[in-house]
Structure 1
């Protein structure tokens, strides 16, 4: 196949989207020609023994080769591939494609000396560091399957992932840095290893010099290995892998509390991300792209590491916050200093900046002439936040929607294609080529324009989306494919207006989105219910102006309990922090007399959430005692809950179902 960096893309959105649905195999075969294949695919689109769709069967390639070796061989050895910008350590480091290749090839050699081979799993528990990117790429180089776990997760969550992935090696840093504290990572890993039934053979530890005064990881002889030792190994070449082989596992919260291991394959992943860099984000090879996220999340995988490097861009790896590192001008400094063309961040970040610098005074200290677009995703962006960013930055602000499961955008304004309708506040845009997005009612039938329904995608999903869950085909089928045969069920609700703009309204199950972190309220309920004073409970994801959503707990005490509400709340908050982590942002637990239920005993969680958010709702006919809602409304208001943020922001359609 041809291997040019800049093969022509479809010129017009409407034509590209129509072609991608009419003949998916032909459309994606054309996009696949932008990559270098060791062996060309024999079947662009096929199904496996489970009836699941697979892309580029018979093809062989290597994602690390496409990210590094290919560019070095084609004139980009001296171009900066990765910029580490760490305001928390006052560090900026730059790595050219040639330097990143050398580090990755040697680290891959070190992993091989520890026994890591094609198909083995490696778990990575690190902050936003170049060493973490090297570890990810080194796994891809060997054909090993990496699983990156966000550094804010507690030992229990880490242990669950260890037992599910069964990694041969864990790679961790000695610690991570927050605004006001240093978090020792290695003790968390040691605690997780104690809890996990599966015991990895080795733990590779990066001793961070920047925080050596506060944290120096204790090493266990015979098991723990210094990160730098692996870089002393001889470099190794890329291992050819099948396009359908797994590249990584990324765990996302499930409604049962057990995380789901989303699998990403080499071939479809590379084709989709390469296409998205030009078509969705409108960037060219050589330009600087910044995804202000964490490598532990899907955004970090797709658009800090793989997408920019596949496309020959310079990627910014940021270890800091949008505010207080050192101030609300931090993002603007990074854009100016590194000549960022496209910034991709979460609405939460813009809200935090807006909260601390509402008139954008700090923006005046910087020149953002390089910036072409701001993309927002992670949770729904309210129009007020989008308008603020557009007004002060003076560039198009594009809200778009995708999921861990999709791995790349499903709805967007594709700035790289012609005839694309302009962004519209409150909407995530139009379906990206390859996605046949439908709004369905509970019977699986299309709803009327403007009516809220369930967001689904007609099969086949395009390349880059999950082909299944890690070692759990049945859960994949039940979670995503069984509700509406022939469709992938996103789990989100939304509606489409008369002009084809799609609006995503939020989750329809108990997985909530806290500042881009998908967390299970069901798992939180299990933890609260384990408290000896708690008889039953419900955890709600309520609207939060800064984070999109945040959890609150409603608890019913056991008879005879005399514990004070303040003490109970403190203990429950600490429990969630220890078992899930601070990322959950669980701060409030309210004692109530009863929970509203159906006559069959089901807690009316959706009604409770609507009540807390100040939304209009119809009292379910199945409720056993409607007066309970009045009692809980008063209880919520006594704690300052009920800002009706979503309605104030204009996010609700006028015609809801």
Structure 2
């Protein structure tokens, strides 16, 4: 009797056939070529060594890569440099049975560098001190330009000020600031002296901030008197004081004056609190850097904490900077002499660590830094900024693309000149195909490729993305892994699923930018990421994905968000994309809810740009991807709950639709949104 076919792990519902080859003129000048894939696949370690040599190292590494996997097996790749022959000789490749069960990776061990020197000093030393590092625009409309030479002086002053406060190598510093130049300056200064930074979103509550202060054992908190948000000056210092109260490890609070007289009197604790401007005024603009081993921790990045307490992911110096710098150069086709690059992420998000701070600065690029929200004081603020600074590369989140699409369906008004744009980027979650096409045609003028990037806080930098001068783009797909990395879609047993089917997205092996551990809890690192597919050597991303017929990968959302309708495992992303493809729908959030007949049913929360009834939307979904995916419940809402990075918080929508108490809302852009949606939902049930 023939074997019965297994049910797909996650079903493939949506098919996208539009294709966008790399424009010939873009391909002719692109940084990265197609040959990189083959060369990197032949020897990934050698490939990453080549990229590491783009940086300045005070001491070269002696071991390029070592890895202890979840079962205790160890692999090493050493590089020995003969003084006479000057050749790099790989040796000692093999496995042994020694080692612990906690996975442990090292890259460029023995190599010593200074991350801040690589991002600032070396450009000044190369004669590029007059190049603009940042064009800053504050929400109230204030402007500031920082050249690389000016940035170097400010970072050196800040490094001296931190040292005077007793901060040194290995000490943890928590930064609770808005998107302002001081945030960049202090972050680089922390890196310069070998301390460890952890940036916290300025909209987080005192409780969320306190958790991070306690968990890191921070000696210093850097905060502000207030911050500007949606046209208002919001006090911050009082919340920072509440978070810092009674923490024995915390010695000082360094306070940046941002809102000044626009906020009320700032509480100040003598002996503990220090004004930023006073500390820097007393500090020298000259600082002699020290150099640190490649595996020295650089920062702790906390996950949003949507389930359980947040995990503090530890990223190290040499490997992370190698991955960040090269991927920025290749994926964003960085042209330091001519580019004006803008990544819109909040500086506390990992996207900004990598693609506002360390990636662009290590490549000597000019960037835009914007403090405010996209619709303050008007909906076209981002278009205005692109025109003002001649932005060439614009990297933002799908949620913002969908918002702009709903407000400007015909594209930017004629008053704005977006002709400087040559490249667009998407980050945060899968971008809906219709939003992708609108972004390409209406913002990019049909000429700018879109690099749709997939990566995570855990990966440090982009893992899957097109190479803009090489790849044929598919709206809604990040395509495949970048050179030097390998991603797979697998079933429950860790076997690659066939083309056309869905499963679990994993990363095969290690790479320089990966998080090394969870701060203070290495067992949680193993259990969260390596337990499920560790015996195959796979890191489990927690995301569902599918292959198309070409073997390219499409994200299907978090595995926890997959909906099981009558035994059919359906992706929330695909149903949302089908809804957004309707001209009346600007955004959609889809979740599963209990159903007595089908086990689970689809509930959709939609932000409509025009009047549309539920029956029309159900019929539309059935036509686009099939009757099995039709939403049972459709609720029009004015907005969706989103994290600070722009991701839709589907867990909270599920709580609302299922009548459960709302979970943690501290990571939201607006913590009041779930309550407003819950009230609307309750009204429909009366």
Pairwise CA distance, 1:139: 0.2
Q: Shift in Å at residue 308 of structure 1?
A: 0.7
Q: 1:305 to 1:100 in 2, by over 3 A?
A: same
Distance in 2 separating the partners of 1:138 and 1:579: 27
1:549 pairs, out of 627, 648, 653, with 648
Cα distance in 1, alignment partners of residues 192 and 32 from structure 2: 34
Q: Find out whether 1:638 has 2:659 as its counterpart.
A: no
2-structure distance, mates of 1:388, 1:589: 28
User: What CA deviation, in whole Å up to 9, does each residue of 1:118-168 have, x standing for no partner?
Assistant: 110000000000001001000011000000001111111111111111111
Q: SS in structure 1 opposite 2:648? A: strand
Q: Does 1:35 align with 2:55?
A: yes
Asked whether the 8 Å contact 2:32–2:333 carries over to 1, the reply is no
How large is the RMSD of aligned CA atoms in angstroms?
A: 3.0
Change in CA separation of 1:178 and 1:254 when aligned onto 2, cut-off 3 Å: closer
Write the distance in 2 (CA, Å) between the matches of 1:94 and 1:556.
Answer: 48
- Of 355, 358, 372, the match for 1:306: 358
Measured at CA, do residues 421 and 510 of structure 1 come closer, stay the same or move farther in structure 2, by a change above 3 Å? closer
Task: Tell me if 1:587 matches 2:643.
Answer: no
The corresponding residue for 2:107 is 55
Helix, strand or coil for the counterpart of 1:406?
A: coil
Report the equivalent of 2:374. 322
Alignment of 1:212-231 (within 5 A): 212-231=261-280
Q: For residue 46 of structure 1, give the secondary structure of its aligned residue in structure 2.
A: strand
Structure of higher RCO (CA pairs closer than 8 Å, 6+ residues apart): 2
Q: Deviations over 1:385-426 (max 9, x none)?
A: 1111112121222322111111211111112xx5x2221012
Aligned residue number for residue 127 of structure 1: 178
Match of 2:424 among 374, 381, 387: 374
Which secondary structure state, in structure 1, belongs to the residue aligned with residue 41 of structure 2? helix
Deviation (angstroms), 1:327? 2.0
Asked if structure 2 preserves the Cα contact closer than 8 Å seen for 1:108 and 1:141, the reply is: yes
CA distance in 1, matches of 2:478, 2:685: 33
**Is 1:111 matched with 2:162?**
yes
Match of 1:396 among 431, 445, 449: 449
Report 1:577-616 matches (<5 A): 582=670, 585-587=673-675
Is the 8 Å Cα contact of residues 56 and 243 (structure 1) preserved in structure 2?
yes
Shift of 1:9: 9.7
SS in 2 for 1:431: coil
Q: Which residue of 2 aligns with 1:443?
A: 493
Q: Distance in 1 between matches of 2:505 and 2:657?
A: 34
1:405 equivalent to 2:454? Answer no
What is aligned with 2:213? Answer: 162
Paired with 2:218 and 2:603, the residues of 1 have a C-alpha distance of 33
Residues 11 and 218 of structure 1, relative CA distance in 2, 3 Å threshold:
closer
Q: Are the counterparts in 1 of residues 208 and 666 from structure 2 also a CA contact under 8 Å?
A: no
**Cross-structure match for 1:484:** 533
Q: TM-score, normalised by structure 1?
A: 0.77
Query: CA separation in 2, counterparts of 1:32 and 1:510?
Result: 37
- Corresponding residue SS for 2:520: coil
Give the 3-state SS of the residue equivalent to 2:169 in structure 1.
coil
* Distance (whole Å) between structure 1 residues aligned to residue 481 and residue 143 of structure 2: 38
Give distance in 1, aligned partners of 2:517 and 2:672: 27
Once the two structures are superposed, the pairs formed by residues 226-305 of structure 1 within 5 Å of their partners are: 226-231=275-280, 232-234=282-284, 235-254=286-305, 256-286=307-337, 287-305=339-357
Q: What is the alpha-carbon distance in structure 1 between the residues aligned to residue 304 and residue 494 of structure 2?
A: 25
Deviations, residues 494-551 of structure 1 (Å, cap 9, x unaligned): 101121321001111379999xxxxxxxxxxxxxxxxxxxxxxx9x997666655242
Question: Aligned with 1:365: secondary structure?
Answer: coil
DSSP-derived class of the 1:93 partner: strand
Residues 451-600 of structure 1: pairs in structure 2 closer than 5 A: 451-460=501-510, 462-485=511-534, 486-509=537-560, 549-550=648-649, 551-552=652-653, 554=655, 582=670, 585-587=673-675
Other-structure match for 2:128: 76
Describe the SS at the equivalent of 2:120.
Answer: helix
Task: Name the CA shift for 1:247/1:542 in 2 (closer, same or farther; >3 Å).
Answer: farther
Output the TM-score relative to the length of structure 2: 0.74
Q: Distance in 2 between matches of 1:423 and 1:407?
A: 24
Distance, in Å, in 2 between the alignment partners of 1:59 and 1:293 is 31
Question: Which of residues 226, 230, 251 is equivalent to 1:179?
Answer: 230
Q: Secondary structure of 1:83's partner? A: strand
- Structure 1 portions without partners, runs of 5+: 1-7, 515-537, 558-564, 592-633, 641-657
